[in-house]
Structure 1
């Protein structure tokens, strides 16, 4: 793994003697997959780029999430950059679903290969970004007290980057070791012989439980809402297969870009009730056996037809009953009350099997709610569970959290917090009316959490790069969408959301996991390919949904 970089002051950028700010063309906030590609792409276009990253190195969520069992839930060959054929050939994945150490090694390899770190200031948070209407630029301030001026501001902050503690009183009182999945220590953590508690049973909690359960003296899993999880069936990748992939990367990437999920997961046009019960059962058994997210792609209408969805949910509940030996525990682990796949689909290697271990105990927080965290552990209505280690796997303030975590002030002093007080709104998930030259990658009104985030990031950066090229070639100083275009896009997002069962679960998709957050599904649910088509149409239409400025004169494109 690459050593943590030294933070050098980017003094190569010219200093504005009037303002004391350093002048660049592009500021990029975030150094995950989106921020890395943005930094590379805009640098190659000849722009002066300055990136900022709160972490100590590149990687975004994979820099922070070092918890035991952390692993990607998409195939590694899919969850990787496609813009560089050279990197595709030079890098070799070892597993079908890469673990966090290998993912971070890949990310560091890309950063080294493309010499990205010299453009990024690490351990630095952007605290404020203000639009200067007179000078047509963004003034960006950091927590180091530095100020930068940039023509373009790129928010590559990602949909999952602001961790959220559970809303339980007494967290600061706990005297044992408190660990947060999203800010895991960089040094190894041992659990042998210890009494360990895990709060949170989403994707992260599932990955942690199945690993810690093997080592802990006793493990207590505090579950409020059980998740549906399916077997990953991870495999070591054989050299012959890797060679095949490398020969065929171009067609693999093209298939991914032209799919609804931005990836290579099999998808069917087959409606659930279009085949006989025997055939349906066999298809589900095959999907369970093959592993991964195959089941989600087995039928085309699982997020549209409640009856079909319930059949598949019951199939998975049956598998839980077959796996977990104690029928009472099995019943508590069976999700009910929301559609399968309406919460983030989870993959595991031995989650349900873990509850067959005598040292692992399921604590049902619906029947026996948590009252508080104490000095010694977790107190429920039934009593106190004493712990040596307490792990929070309680997710993020998703989609909007990172963008609302600092002050973004647009035209006429209007803040992003004001604009989004009733929920995120933008045009194409890429730009907002009233915030010129401010772009988002994997924004909350695009397909963000519902498709391959690396394909989305690459698409978004390429779209932004095309818009910037259009401006440079035509002597234009600003771009922003019209209010009418923004409203039309949000109307479409809302209309599509009414057709999906994703709205039927209380998830971070709809903001239900954060107190007082506006509720609603603001994601584009029409699929990645349709999203690409909408974005392409905006360009092919001559940017008619955008307003440009040349000097002080507003122009219609």
Structure 2
């Protein structure tokens, strides 16, 4: 899409709200604020909208949420007009859809592309935020709404010699718009998270040789993707309202269909449990978790039994026993966000694919000709980093955010503290759209009620004719303590994962999501709003 490249002043030059970031959440947030009749604009660092689906255009990038559940429900016409080709669409189709949504919501003229926010400071005397961009302009706004995304600041590992490599280097989270031809090349991929798994599977057949550098394996489960038939499309379109309500009232924003009640695991025989695992293994996507025994979501025997089942599947699909064992994780299923795969394990049966376990043979340095590990040199033509992101708070850390003599990075040094995942005390009028301490899962469904709430909160401030919205520190501490209690004793508490910041050296590990689920968080927001935005301070 084509947006503006500079911010136009209107009226007194002060916006009601500025949305920062135009991924799936930012687009919807801009739509809701604009729909409310507010004077609003949005800035986006990229040259196009889409966020994750603009930057992550590597071969094989696709949804791991069902396309029609990830889509916006704000327009029934758009929902029923758009025909997804697959249950889990690929990146080009997703990017095209998000551009169509911008046109549908009539947002194009409100958007400034190629505009990266460098600093934001709250002017307490005027009760406005002054937002400085890379274009040398300062935007003044009453409310600022970061919609920065959890996975939007790519992370490069600290490996000596990275700049010495003679060939092209890429990060899956910064993939170039121009076509990258990997045919006949010796390619190295560092990392086996979701992007590494998708990329490796996609390119293994066309490269001369693929070397995959793996530190920790993940529990990768079958996506079981397929084209959407005409009959399925008719059902999807007819289920518009039903799908919307079911996802909003779910734990993670999916069509979650538990097949067994709590307690069934202990009542079933091992053979019956095996039948259950066989059944869900053939189901699409996240059903491996949500349709499983509820006990699998806890740290205990049920989780271990399912892990043993998955390990069997890996051994059955990978011909070389030693390679198979290297691909089997030692953490509980679900403790780390599990990638979905479509033939990933089979690529290790190809003679042109090599797995290097950097736990056993660590990377020593990157050289001019490739990667040097303790077991020798691996010569490469192309080096790709699938090493993830400075997740959740990383994009906030990249902006110099200050208010009332405080810097946000200092305020969050021991982990983010917010009220409801929306506001950090002492940083008034900064309302986070699907930011730290929000529920995790299917992003647009988890973000939808938050964006609605933020729009309602800004409207309420106007109705009360107040200039400042804040929250007490005590409420943020209580909310943060509540999140810690939600994961205490669970599979999430101590496992090293990006959701707790453990992939960042030196970062304090704090679980940064509301783990009680989307429906409970939605109920919380509904109650707060029904009680006059209880807990928020209007001044």
Q: TM-score range by the shorter chain?
A: over 0.9
TM-score of the pair, normalised by structure 1: 0.94
- 1:56-108 residue CA offsets vs partner (Å, 9 max, x unmatched): 11100100001011011011111111111111111111100001111011111
Contact 2:392 2:512 in 1 (8 A): no
- 1:441-490 residue CA offsets vs partner (Å, 9 max, x unmatched): 1111111xx31110122111101111122222222221111112111111
Give the secondary-structure state (helix, strand or coil) at the position aligned to 1:465. helix
Give the secondary-structure state (helix, strand or coil) at the position aligned to 1:204. helix
For the pair 1:493 / 2:487, whether they are aligned, the reply is no
Find the counterpart in structure 1 of residue 151 from structure 2: 160
Find the counterpart in structure 2 of residue 84 from structure 1: 75
Q: Of 309, 312, 324, which aligns to 1:330?
A: 324
RMSD: 1.3
Q: Distance in 1 between matches of 2:79 and 2:3?
A: 28
Per-residue deviation, 1:125: 0.8
Find the counterpart in structure 1 of residue 412 from structure 2: 420
Find the counterpart in structure 1 of residue 199 from structure 2: 208
Contact 1:229 1:346 in 2 (8 A): yes
Q: Distance in 1 between matches of 2:479 and 2:6?
A: 41
Summarize the Cα distance change of 1:388–1:92 in structure 2 as closer, same or farther, 3 Å threshold. Answer: same
Find the counterpart in structure 1 of residue 6 from structure 2: 9
Q: May I ask how many residue pairs the two structures share in their alignment?
A: 536
Contact 2:7 2:139 in 1 (8 A): no
Q: Distance in 1 between matches of 2:22 and 2:3?
A: 15
Per-residue deviation, 1:296: 0.6
Contact 1:303 1:502 in 2 (8 A): no
Contact 2:3 2:109 in 1 (8 A): no
Per-residue deviation, 1:275: 2.3
Q: Of 168, 181, 186, which aligns to 1:177?
A: 168
Q: Distance in 1 between matches of 2:429 and 2:116?
A: 20
Q: Which runs of 5+ in 2 are unaligned?
A: none
Contact 1:161 1:396 in 2 (8 A): yes
Per-residue deviation, 1:7: 3.9
Q: Distance in 1 between matches of 2:39 and 2:134?
A: 21
Find the counterpart in structure 2 of residue 404 from structure 1: 397
Q: Distance in 2 between matches of 1:132 and 1:454?
A: 32
Find the counterpart in structure 2 of residue 434 from structure 1: 426
Per-residue deviation, 1:367: 1.0
For the pair 1:528 / 2:518, whether they are aligned, the reply is yes
Contact 2:5 2:114 in 1 (8 A): no
For the pair 1:446 / 2:446, whether they are aligned, the reply is no
Find the counterpart in structure 2 of residue 64 from structure 1: 55
Find the counterpart in structure 2 of residue 542 from structure 1: 532
Find the counterpart in structure 2 of residue 554 from structure 1: none
Per-residue deviation, 1:241: 1.4
Q: Of 161, 177, 189, which aligns to 2:180?
A: 189
Find the counterpart in structure 1 of residue 298 from structure 2: 304
Per-residue deviation, 1:45: 1.0
Per-residue deviation, 1:6: 5.7
Q: Distance in 1 between matches of 2:489 and 2:458?
A: 35
User: Which moved further from structure 2: 38-47 or 312-321?
Assistant: 38-47
Find the counterpart in structure 1 of residue 26 from structure 2: 35
Q: Distance in 1 between matches of 2:486 and 2:222?
A: 30
- 1:168-200 residue CA offsets vs partner (Å, 9 max, x unmatched): 111101001111101111122222221110000
Q: Which runs of 4+ in 1 moved over 4 A?
A: none
Per-residue deviation, 1:414: 1.1
For the pair 1:362 / 2:355, whether they are aligned, the reply is yes
Contact 1:339 1:504 in 2 (8 A): no
Per-residue deviation, 1:12: 5.0
User: Which moved further from structure 2: 307-316 or 463-472?
Assistant: 463-472
Find the counterpart in structure 2 of residue 101 from structure 1: 92
Q: Of 112, 115, 118, which aligns to 1:124?
A: 115
Q: Distance in 2 between matches of 1:103 and 1:389?
A: 27
Give the secondary-structure state (helix, strand or coil) at the position aligned to 2:109. helix
Q: Which runs of 5+ in 1 are unaligned?
A: 17-21, 550-557
Find the counterpart in structure 2 of residue 225 from structure 1: 216
For the pair 1:273 / 2:266, whether they are aligned, the reply is yes
Find the counterpart in structure 1 of residue 243 from structure 2: 252
Contact 1:233 1:292 in 2 (8 A): yes
- 1:312-347 residue CA offsets vs partner (Å, 9 max, x unmatched): 1110000000000111111111111x1111111111
Give the secondary-structure state (helix, strand or coil) at the position aligned to 2:356. strand
- 1:205-246 residue CA offsets vs partner (Å, 9 max, x unmatched): 000111111111010011110111111111110112111211
Find the counterpart in structure 2 of residue 344 from structure 1: 337
